[in-house]
Amino acid sequence: MASRSSNSNRTRVGKYELGRTLGEGNFAKVKFARNVVSGENVAIKILDKEKVLKHKMIGQIKREISTMKLIRHPNVIRMYEVMASKMKIYIVLEFVTGGELFDKIASKGRLKEDEARKYFQQLINAVDYCHSRGVFHRDLKPENLLLDANGVLKVSDFGLSALPQQVREDGLLHTTCGTPNYVAPEVINNKGYDGAKADLWSCGVILFVLMAGYLPFEESNLMALYKKIFKADFTCPPWFSSSAKKLIKRILDPNPSTRITIAEVIENEWFKKGYKPPSFEQADVSLADVDGIFNEIGDSGELIVERREEGQPVAPVTMNAFELISTSQGLNLSTLFEKQMGLIKRETRFTSKSPAKEIISKIEEAAMPLGFGVKKNNYKLKLQGEKTGRKGHLSVATEIFEVAPSLYMVEVRKSGGDTLEFHKFYNSLTTGLKDIVWKTGDEAEERKGGDGPDGVVASN
């Protein structure tokens, strides 16, 4: 039964207590959740059943989810179980706390070759294992490479990337599946492609970025970018070793039939240096829950019932300690309210001591002159850009949480559109919010020195 317990004002889905939204798109959301029986933190991906039916995707999704449940690999995000209500499908996933691998590059610059190789080996391990089970990612990119608390690489969204293009939490319309800079030329061509070869190309782009600190193919004009990708028009920087250059050139071969295979990559001398094959056990897994969620005629007792609270909440949701920790990298709480300037993120936060209703009206006042329509839902706002940007209309979700008496955390998330445009919008928005952003004594001193917007933190 999904219900809200009156004391905590939280939605329950089965044995999971739902918390803050970690990511969202047009038809899917990922929420932080806690298993109230074991106390374990998880992420729950919530899909809209109606959209799945409308796109005639049931067979494919059932196949993908079944396969994903069977995949147990140290470098792939675990899928624990699947549940459904009348309207939604809930996919319960492993929650990792180390942030995105690419945050390391954004904050510290490119990686040394040995460190880049270590992550590349883990990436290839994950991709090769999933391919052997018939699962292809089709959209390998920075946001899908996460780190756990021990710095182990975890590939997320494996097998779920073949869902309809709208059901992606980045909210973008993928005309060709994937993010253009990371996509193989044959995928852009749209004439059918080998999933394994296309995934390997994306791995090659990722390796280049890890070692170079920038993309091999980068153009502001999409057609110019495609031309570069079709010709594999890129240059390795001088600090790459000659053996790394050779391997990258063999992976980024625009002709899929002559491109190196994953089996050949694993035998490559550069790749093999310091290589440790993954060790893991295959456990017995039941697929009964997967069958249950798609069994429309089946016993309705298998379905979770969602109950919404009557009336309007009188205050924002209080963020508990588990969620507060989940907002920071690993268990290092110092990053929670720490300024990290210069990073382009899809989510930022600020803190405020102003009353929650005042925060809402100030955001509304600041957003409207910037050309954004505002929809209010209790202590959440949806801001929709009126202009069409590089990747459609920019849409932004904001939510207010109480983290202590009279102290609020405001999350501002991109739910659709271009990340760079979101960053510019956020900088403009904070200019209009100076009065309500809470500054510590040190930050107030810094402010006098004209050090940009304060109280702003970037999320992992």
User: How far, in Å, are 98, 112, 117, 295 from residue 243 at the CA level?
Assistant: 30, 15, 12, 53
Give the active site residues: 139
Buried b (16+ CB within 10 A) or exposed e, 326-346: bbbbbeeeebbbeebeeeebb
> Would you list the domain boundaries of the chain?
9-95, 101-272, 321-458
Span 219-233, mean pLDDT? 89
Question: In this structure, is the dihedral angle defined by the CA atoms of residues 169, 172, 178 and 179, taken in order, positive or negative?
Answer: negative
Share of the chain above pLDDT 90, in %: 21
Which CATH superfamily groups domain 9-95? Phosphorylase Kinase; domain 1 (3.30.200.20)
Span 394-401, mean pLDDT? 86
User: What is the model's pLDDT at position 304?
Assistant: 63
Per residue in 428-460, pLDDT (tens digit) is 888 888 888 876 544 444 444 444 443 333 333
Domain 321-458: which CATH number of 3.30.70.360, 3.30.70.1050, 3.40.50.720, 3.30.310.80: 3.30.310.80
User: What is the model's pLDDT at position 281?
Assistant: 66
Does the pLDDT of residue 299 top 70, yes or no?
Answer: no
The interaxial angle of helices 101-108 and 195-212, nearest 10 deg, is: 30
User: What is the model's pLDDT at position 446?
Assistant: 45
User: What is the model's pLDDT at position 183?
Assistant: 87
Where residue 168 falls among pLDDT bands split at 50, 70, 90?
Answer: very low
Q: Which of 125-129, 243-247, 370-374 has the highest mean pLDDT?
A: 243-247
> Which among 427, 424, 425, 419 is positioned nearest to 372, based on CA atoms?
425
> Which among 259, 74, 262 is positioned nearest to 152, based on CA atoms?
74
Cβ 24 vs Cβ 171: under 8 Å: yes
Share of the chain above pLDDT 70, in %: 70
The torsion of the CA quartet 291, 293, 297, 298, rounded to 10 degrees, works out to: 70
Which stretch of 43-57, 166-180, 285-299 has the lowest confidence by average pLDDT? 166-180
Q: How far is CA 236 from the centre of its chain?
A: 28
User: How far, in Å, are 204, 393, 419, 451 from residue 426 at the CA level?
Assistant: 33, 15, 10, 16
Where residue 243 falls among pLDDT bands split at 50, 70, 90?
Answer: very high
Output the pTM of the full model: 0.66
Comparing 362 with 28, which gets the higher pLDDT? 362
**Position 19, amino acid:** G
Does the pLDDT of residue 89 top 90, yes or no?
Answer: no
> Which among 8, 104, 86, 2 is positioned nearest to 44, based on CA atoms?
2
Span 53-63, mean pLDDT? 68
**Going by C-beta distance under 8 Å and a sequence separation of 6 or more, which residues neighbour residue 54?**
none
Q: Which of 174-178, 343-347, 414-418 has the highest mean pLDDT?
A: 414-418
Two domains, one topology: 9-95 and 321-458: no
Per residue in 140-157, pLDDT (tens digit) is 887 789 898 888 999 987
> Which among 88, 60, 91, 90 is positioned nearest to 78, based on CA atoms?
91
CATH of domain 101-272: 1.10.510.10
> What is the rounded CA–CA span in Å between residue 57 and residue 69?
18
Which stretch of 39-43, 166-170, 178-182, 320-324 has the lowest confidence by average pLDDT? 166-170
Does the pLDDT of residue 384 top 80, yes or no?
Answer: yes
Does the pLDDT of residue 124 top 90, yes or no?
Answer: yes
User: What is the model's pLDDT at position 342?
Assistant: 37
Does the pLDDT of residue 381 top 60, yes or no?
Answer: yes
Per residue in 325-378, pLDDT (tens digit) is 455 444 333 333 333 333 445 667 788 888 888 888 889 888 888 889 888 887
Per residue in 196-209, pLDDT (tens digit) is 899 999 999 999 99
Comparing 264 with 101, which gets the higher pLDDT? 264
Does the pLDDT of residue 249 top 70, yes or no?
Answer: yes
Where residue 256 falls among pLDDT bands split at 50, 70, 90?
Answer: very high
The dihedrals phi and psi of 60, each to the nearest 5 degrees, come to -65, -45
Which stretch of 17-21, 256-260, 343-347 has the lowest confidence by average pLDDT? 343-347
Write down the mean pLDDT value for the chain: 76
Does the pLDDT of residue 106 top 90, yes or no?
Answer: no
User: What is the model's pLDDT at position 47?
Assistant: 82
Which stretch of 38-52, 159-173, 358-372 has the lowest confidence by average pLDDT? 159-173
> What is the rounded CA–CA span in Å between residue 262 and residue 38?
39
User: What is the model's pLDDT at position 321?
Assistant: 55
